[in-house]
Amino acid sequence: MAILLDVRDLSVDYLADDGTPLHAVDGVTFRLEEGRSLGLVGESGCGKTTVMLAILRLLPQEGRIVRGQVLFDGKDLLQYSEAQMRQVRWQHISMVFQGAMNALNPVRTIESQIVEALQVHSVVEHAQAARERAGELLRLVGIPPERGSQYPHQYSGGMRQRAVIAMALACNPRILIADEPTTALDVMIQAQILELLERLQAELHLSLILVTHDLGMVAEVCDDVLVMYGGVVAEYASSDVIFNDPCHPYTQRLLQAFPDVGRPGAALASIPGNPPRLDDLPPGCRFQPRCDCPRRGPICAHEPPPLTEIAPGHYVACHWVRKV
């Protein structure tokens, strides 16, 4: 399979109010192959959304990409001009932002908002064609096209999320990034949205990046998983490896902390402490203060572990996990 997106050593700093740089994302590396799906998992504040915004070059003003490459089809997006970038956004890579379903314009119909997206990105010039395309998009995401003339408040949460996904698909992107697409939705609606994403991925041959804190969702949908902690990659491997043979202590703990409906009553491990704050990052391994791995040693507190490929396609950032 062709590699569509190749992110290498991507690092982002945020400038604090007093001008000191906070290393929000440090050395994130991953690849996305055509037609596959990648899950980006981590707790709030771990930098997963920042990575996505950096790829789209949509960081807030305080954010700076300080290192790295984002190769899309072999070309580095970080070298693109803003005008070129605008071509890439939505037309090649589009994103369903977290909470976007609650940010639809309440006084305009869903259809007119999709039409606007189409016209802004000059996919369709003609108004009639744009309306037809909007209807097509709505049908694609499972909304009867005649409901396009309704307003956001007449839609349920799940329908609004579908509408936002339709907007993201307006320009036939090759990569769809979905940031917490099911947060705040009910379980059944979550399942409907997941099913929709899977179907779209297959029908449109999309590559999908799912950004979420929900391990279960990733296990259901994704081929590969990137686990982030405190702005760095902890572990990166295929879904099967991550869930059945995790090597990083954080991944292991996280999985043990996740309740499994198939195994009711099983003990849940908790991870004591809190994720690190950006202005107070530990010097060595960022997970070290919360790590309870028996093998851990003094080196953990001093030296950040490099991301090492311990088996083909299995990357771990831990001093104590070695190549087998």
Partner 1 sequence: MKFLRQFIHSPMGVIGAAMLLVVVLVAIFAPFLAPYDPYERVEASPEDILAPPDRDHLLGRDDAGKDVLSLLIYGARVSLIVGFTASFMSMLIGTTVGLVAGYYGGRIGNLLMRLADFLMVIPDLPLMLVIIAVWGRGLWKIILVIGILGWTYTARLVRSQVLSIRERQFVLRARALGASDARIILRHIFPQVLPLIIAEAVLDISVAILAESSLAFLGLGDPTLVSWGMMLNFAFERAISRQAWWFLLPPGFAIVWVSLSLVLIGNTLDQIVNPRLRTHHLFDARRMVALVTGEPPQRGVELPG
Partner 2 sequence: MEGSPVLQVHELYKYFPLSQGPWAALTRKRRRMVRAVDGVSFSVHRGEILALVGESGSGKTTVGMNVVGLQQPTRGYVLFDGYNVTEWARGHGPSLEAKDGPLAALSRRRRIMRLRQKAQMIFQDPYESLNPRQTVFDIVAEPLEIHRLARSREEKKERVREALETCGLVPADHFWDRFPAELSGGQRQRVVIAGALVLEPELLVADEPVSMLDVSIRAEILNLLHALRRERGITILYTTHDLATAGFFTDRMAVMYLGRIVELGPTAEVLARPQHPYTRALISVVPVPNPRRRRQRFILQGEIPNPTDIPPGCRFHPRCPCAVPECRETDPQLRPVAPDHEVACIFAGQL
Give me the residues that bind partner 2 (CB under 8 A), please: 43-44, 156, 158, 186-192, 194-195, 213-217, 219-220, 239-240, 243-244, 253-266, 268-272, 274-275
Distance CA 97, CA 273 (A): 29
By the rule CB under 8 A, 55 interacts with partner 1: no
Q: Which of 21, 35, 45, 135 binds partner 1 (CB under 8 A)?
A: 45
Bridge-based pairing of strands 175-179 and 63-72 is unpaired
- List all residues 6 or more positions away from 304 whose beta carbon is below 8 Å from its beta carbon: 232, 283, 284, 285, 286, 317
Q: Which of 11, 37, 50, 288 binds partner 1 (CB under 8 A)?
A: 50
Q: How far is the CB of 38 from partner 2 (least distance, A)?
A: 13
Q: How far is the CB of 184 from partner 1 (least distance, A)?
A: 9
Q: How far is the CB of 179 from partner 2 (least distance, A)?
A: 16
Render 215-269 in DSSP notation, one character per residue.
HHHHHHH-SEEEEEETTEEEEEEEHHHHHHS--SHHHHHHHHTS--TTSTT----
Residue 255 contact among partner 2, partner 1, none, beta carbon within 5 to 8 Å by kind: partner 2
Which residue, 104 or 191, is less far from partner 1 as judged by CB? 104
Residue 215 contact among partner 2, partner 1, none, beta carbon within 5 to 8 Å by kind: partner 2
Which residue, 74 or 106, is less far from partner 1 as judged by CB? 106
Evaluate whether 47 touches 234 at the Cβ level (below 8 Å).
no
Q: Is the dihedral of CA 135, 136, 137, 142 positive or negative?
A: positive
Residue in 78, 38, 35, 25 with CA at minimum distance from that of residue 56 = 78
Buried b (16+ CB within 10 A) or exposed e, 221-236: bbbbbbbbbbbbbbbb
Q: How far is the CB of 92 from partner 2 (least distance, A)?
A: 28
Distance CA 45, CA 276 (A): 9
Neighbouring-strand partners of residue 182: none
Q: How far is the CB of 221 from partner 2 (least distance, A)?
A: 9
Torsion of CA 230, 233, 238, 239, to 10 degrees: 0
Q: Is the dihedral of CA 52, 226, 38, 80 positive or negative?
A: positive
By the rule CB under 8 A, 212 interacts with partner 1: no
Q: How many residues bind partner 1 (CB under 8 A)?
A: 31
Distance CA 58, CA 150 (A): 30
Residue 83 contact among partner 2, partner 1, none, beta carbon within 5 to 8 Å by kind: none
Q: Which of 11, 37, 98, 192 binds partner 1 (CB under 8 A)?
A: 98
Which residue, 56 or 219, is less far from partner 2 as judged by CB? 219
Under rule CB under 8 A, which residues in 140-199 are in contact with partner 1? 164, 180, 183
Q: Which of 90, 250, 287, 315 binds partner 1 (CB under 8 A)?
A: 90
Which residue, 98 or 190, is less far from partner 2 as judged by CB? 190
Tokens describing residue 308? 């090492």
Under rule CB under 8 A, which residues in 229-268 are in contact with partner 1? none
Q: In the complex, which residues of this chain contact partner 1 (CB under 8 A)?
A: 14, 24, 44-50, 53, 58-63, 89-90, 95, 97-100, 102-104, 120, 164, 180, 183, 278
